[in-house]
Amino acid sequence: MAGLRALVMPKMGLAMTEGMVAAWRKAPGEPVAAGEEVADIETSKITAGYESPAAGSLRRQVVKPGVMVPVGTLIGVIADGTADDAEIDAFIAAQHAAFVPAAEAASAPAPARVATEIGPIQVLEAGPEDAPPLVLIHGFGGDLNNWLFLQPLLAARFHTFAIDLPGHGGSTKTLPGGNFAALARAVAAFLRARGIGPAHLVGHSLGGAVALMLAPESLSLSLISPAGLGPEINMDYIGGFIAARRAREMQAVLAMLFADPALIGRDMVEGVLRYKRLDGVAAALQAIAAANFANGRQNTSLRATLAAIRVPTLVAWGEADRIIPAAHADALSPSVRVVRFPETGHMAHMERAADLARHIIGIADA
């Protein structure tokens, strides 16, 4: 059965225990390239494309769309041309016989809180401890869970650290200051406390600006729709995120993040609302917005900083970004590698995780 590959329900993020095929992108018998999306996988949090691990043809859709199955369940079979139906039936039977649902939560890595000079910082680590360090820094109102698709892909090559910025997630809600520099000092404090030397830095949006401030200490820099490269910022998003109290209001705000708002699930909205209800969060978000986006514009330009840095740098942007326009990636220094994703919004790390991971690994190797 050399030519047979199992497609199994992927685990997208720590909390995921089950999911469903929202739709098959390939009909039975249709050819599939490695890395091509064969199905859309839906969880209560988000819907995302599922890339084929191998080239061949989709010989079987084992699971029908709309049926909830545990992580690891066989959902389809990819085969080269030589396998006959009997072989595939035997393969499916063997897969089913061998399947043991993963022990929930117990085996999942859990985030830890690291004491730093500016208060506790929450971090989720993944990947080999002897691999080069790579730090993931989320954007305004986000948290380490924003990296749920990208972090596992990067953890194959790097010792990854997804952190919560101060005022966010499980980190201290007391800010050392709201501007880029203060947040960068907080990340530096975390790196010192955790004993991480020069690292590959990956930052999104506000976290991109923070990463850029730390560039001199980094091995490489990957910035996804970063703040700081132009004056425009969608204040309907920033203001709406701070103001929204109910699920439907928040859903409408979060919809601005994605090229396809249908990707947002109920649990993502509820998770953001729960975060916003924590003591101190409203004040922290307002302080960050006031420090960086007063008068409805970004008031700190890091274009000169970017032009001056010497480490390999990637700037990635979704062409349909409605929060910070992709035009901010225009006319950057020729040493910066710029990648634009079509039909992608502000969340390329969620919307285009696999492509983006390849580019990040590429810049880290440059």
Partner 1 sequence: MARKSFRQAVNEAIRQEMARDPRVIVMGEDIAGGMGAPGEDDAWGGPLGVTKGLMPQFGRERVLDTPITESGFIGAAAGAALTGLRPVADLMFVDFMGVCFDQIFNQAAKFKYMFGGKARTPLVIRTMYGAGFRAASQHSQCLYPLFTHVPGLKVVIPSSPYEAKGLMIEAIRDDDPVIFFEHKMLYDVEDEVPDEPYTLPFGEANLTREGDDATIVAFGRMVMLANEAADQLGAQGISCTVIDPRTTSPLDIETILEEVRATGRLVVVDEASPRCNMASDIAAQVAERAFEALKAPIRRVSPPHTPVPFSPALEDLYLPDVEKIISAVRAVMAAGGRKAA
Least gap, CB of 280 to partner 1 (angstroms): 8
Q: Which two tokens stand for residue 23?
A: 């739709």
Structure tokens at 293: 């986006």
CB 49 within 8 A of CB 40: yes
Q: Pick from 170, 176, 178, 203: which binds partner 1 (CB under 8 A)?
A: 170
Cα separation, 43 vs 194, whole angstroms:
33
Both tokens of residue 71? 């992580």
Q: How far is the CB of 279 from partner 1 (least distance, A)?
A: 4
Question: Rounded CA gap, 73 and 63, in Å?
Answer: 9
Closest C-alpha to 3, from 76, 62, 78: 78
Decide if 200 contacts 134 (C-beta within 8 A).
Answer: yes
* By the rule CB under 8 A, 279 interacts with partner 1: yes
The count of residues interacting with partner 1 (CB under 8 A) is 10
Q: Between the CA atoms of 172, 123, 288 and 333, what dihedral angle is there, to the nearest 10 degrees?
A: 150
Q: Any contact of residue 255 with partner 1 (CB under 8 A)?
A: no
Smaller CB separation from partner 1, 284 or 316: 284
**Shortest gap between Cβ of 163 and partner 1 (angstroms)?**
16
Cβ atoms of residues 346 and 225 within 8 Å:
yes
Among 84, 245, 334, 365, binds partner 1 (CB under 8 A): 245
Output the smallest distance, CB 170 to partner 1, in A.
7
Q: How far is the CB of 167 from partner 1 (least distance, A)?
A: 12
Region of 89-97, 217-225, 242-250, 256-264 interacting with partner 1 (CB under 8 A):
242-250
Choices 46-54, 185-193, 272-280, 300-308 (CB under 8 A): range interacting with partner 1: 272-280
CB of 125 to partner 1, least distance (A): 17
Among 54, 181, 278, 283, the residue binding partner 1 under the rule CB under 8 A is 278
Q: Which amino acid is at 262?
A: A
One of 27, 85, 107, 246 touching partner 1 (CB under 8 A): 246
- Binding of residue 266 to partner 1 (CB under 8 A): yes
Instruction: State the DSSP string of 11-63.
Output: --STT--EEEEEEESS-TT-EE-TT-EEEEEE-SSBEEEEE-SSSEEEEEE-S
Query: Does residue 173 interact with partner 1 by CB under 8 A?
Result: yes
Q: Which residues are near partner 1 by CB under 8 A?
A: 170, 173, 245-247, 266, 274, 277-279
